[in-house]
Amino acid sequence: MKVVMTRTTDVYVGLNERAYFANRNKADLFVSYHLNAATATAYGYEDFTYPTQNKATINSRNIYHGAILPALRALQQFNRGKKVANFAVLRETNMPAYLIELGFITNASEYNTIVGQTNFELLAQTHASAIKQALANLGKPNGTVCVDPGHGGRDPGAVSRGYTEAAYVLRFTLRIREILQGAKPIAPIKDKKEAVTMLNSTGRKEIRELLKKARAAGIIDAKYHTDDKIAKYNDIQLLSYQAAVVNREFK
């Protein structure tokens, strides 16, 4: 699989230029990532396609959307549904194109859900897997995907609590690219001293919460990883299972 990105640094790329970039690179799929902004009470995930789309776009988008649902349930994030809009990046692209609104940065609870490092990795793994499944549905499992981190440069996008949409989606999409291009997996932890050092920065509680969310999403075996077992895992087990969750993809 080939991954091309409309930007890899904090620069502004115009809406039409993003679409033309995807067209020039003969991408088989275009996905643009964003964070939403509205009132403090608005919340939820949603994705968009252009109003008049062919069957291939509709079917592959349905596959993508379906692949996201386990993570939404695990994170207890509201699904606002599949929508259509006359966005330039959807209108001007020559291939199936989706615009993803990951959630509302202006909602305090959803901000914490999306921005937290534990959930960040789960979401990145989920969306990388969704891209793979959509490409497979299009008959292009080894095709080219154009990933668009929305905003950038002079256009920070939504801003909340000193955090910008542009910065988040760039970091998020770079991680997706790493996953899709087969970044080296996290090595299992074998040394107790190394485990304690890493846990001081990660936190036992955070890893246990990650394992529970991964279990709810079907990433790890629910019958084996019970609450009682997770509570009793030692340091090396916690970090090893964390690595396993990060390295695995949603099936």
Active site residues: 101
Instruction: Specify whether the CB–CB gap between 6 and 18 falls below 8 A.
Output: yes
Tell me the backbone φ, ψ of residue 100, rounded to 5 degrees.
-105, 125
Closest CA to 89 of 26, 18, 145: 18
- Report the DSSP beta bridge partners of residue 147: 5, 31
d(CA 66, CA 44): 15
d(CA 63, CA 60): 5
